Amino acid sequence: MLKSELILPRLKKRGSEIQPVWLATDYNYLQIAAELIQIVKAHVGLSRGELEVALRQYEGDSLDYRIIRGLSQVLLNRCTFSSDTQIDPVALRTALFDKGPVIQKNDLLSIMTREQALAAVTVQLGLTVDVIEQTLFADLMEERILLGSNEIWTPIDLIARYNLEIARGLLYWAHAVDILIRDNYKELFKYIKLFKLMYTVYPLPQQGYNIILHGPISPFVKSTIRYGLQFAKFLPALLLCHNWRMDAQVQPPDSAYPLHYTLNNTTPLRSHFKTPNLFDSQLEVDFATEFEAKYGDNKRRWSLAREDEIIVVGDTVMIPDFSLTNRQDGRRALIEIIGFWHPHYLQRKLQKIQQAARRDLILLVYESANVAQGVFEKVSAGEVLTFAKKPVLKEVLAAVERCAIVPESSYNKNAL
pLDDT digits (tens, 9 = 90+) for 16-36: 999 999 999 999 999 999 999
Query: pLDDT by residue (tens digit) across 312-350?
Result: 887 778 889 899 999 889 999 999 998 766 677 778 888
**Confidence at 120, pLDDT banded by 50, 70, 90:** confident
What per-residue confidence (pLDDT) applies to 368? Answer: 75
Q: Are strands 112-113 and 102-103 parallel, antiparallel or unpaired?
A: parallel
Contact 356, 349 (CB under 8 A): no
What per-residue confidence (pLDDT) applies to 104? Answer: 64
Task: State which amino acid sits at residue 89.
Answer: P
Query: pLDDT by residue (tens digit) across 58-73?
Result: 999 999 999 999 999 9
Query: pLDDT by residue (tens digit) across 172-183?
Result: 999 999 999 988
What per-residue confidence (pLDDT) applies to 65? Answer: 95
Strand partners, 102: 112
Residues in CB range of 35: below 8 A, 6 or more apart: 58
Q: 0.95 exceeded by the pTM?
A: no
Query: pLDDT by residue (tens digit) across 257-289?
Result: 999 999 999 999 999 888 777 777 788 888 999
Taking residues 2-21, report their average pLDDT.
94
Q: Which domains does the chain have, with CATH numbers?
A: 89-138 (no CATH), 166-264 (3.30.70.260), 282-415 (3.40.1350)
Percent of the chain at pLDDT > 70 equals 93
Contact 186, 319 (CB under 8 A): yes
Q: Is residue 165 predicted with pLDDT exceeding 80?
A: yes
Q: How far is 250 from 237, CA to CA, in rounded Å?
A: 19
**Confidence at 412, pLDDT banded by 50, 70, 90:** very low
What per-residue confidence (pLDDT) applies to 76? Answer: 93
**Confidence at 110, pLDDT banded by 50, 70, 90:** low
Q: Is residue 108 predicted with pLDDT exceeding 80?
A: no
Q: Is residue 410 predicted with pLDDT exceeding 50?
A: no
Residues in CB range of 229: below 8 A, 6 or more apart: 1, 172
Q: How far is 324 from 303, CA to CA, in rounded Å?
A: 5
pLDDT greater at residue 271 or residue 298? 271
From 408, 399, 407, 406, select the one nearest 380 (Cα to Cα): 399
From 241, 68, 46, select the one nearest 147 (Cα to Cα): 46
| Chain mean pLDDT for the chain | 86
**Confidence at 243, pLDDT banded by 50, 70, 90:** very high
CA angle 101, 86, 51 (to 5 degrees): 85
Query: pLDDT by residue (tens digit) across 142-154?
Result: 888 888 887 778 9
Q: How far is 249 from 240, CA to CA, in rounded Å?
A: 22
Lowest pLDDT segment from 22-31, 125-134, 375-384? 125-134
Going from the C-alpha of 12 to that of each of 20, 77, 117, 173, 265, the distances in angstroms are 6, 25, 59, 15, 20
Which ranges constitute the DSSP H helices of 234-342?
235-238, 282-295
Contact 236, 271 (CB under 8 A): yes
Residues in CB range of 110: below 8 A, 6 or more apart: 101, 102, 103
What per-residue confidence (pLDDT) applies to 411? Answer: 40
From 413, 397, 244, 263, select the one nearest 335 (Cα to Cα): 397
What per-residue confidence (pLDDT) applies to 413? Answer: 47
pLDDT greater at residue 248 or residue 201? 248
Q: How far is 145 from 138, CA to CA, in rounded Å?
A: 8
Q: Is residue 357 predicted with pLDDT exceeding 70?
A: yes
Q: How far is 235 from 361, CA to CA, in rounded Å?
A: 32
Q: How many residues does the chain have?
A: 416
**Confidence at 103, pLDDT banded by 50, 70, 90:** low
Q: Is residue 105 predicted with pLDDT exceeding 70?
A: no
CB-CB neighbours of 202 under 10 Å: 16
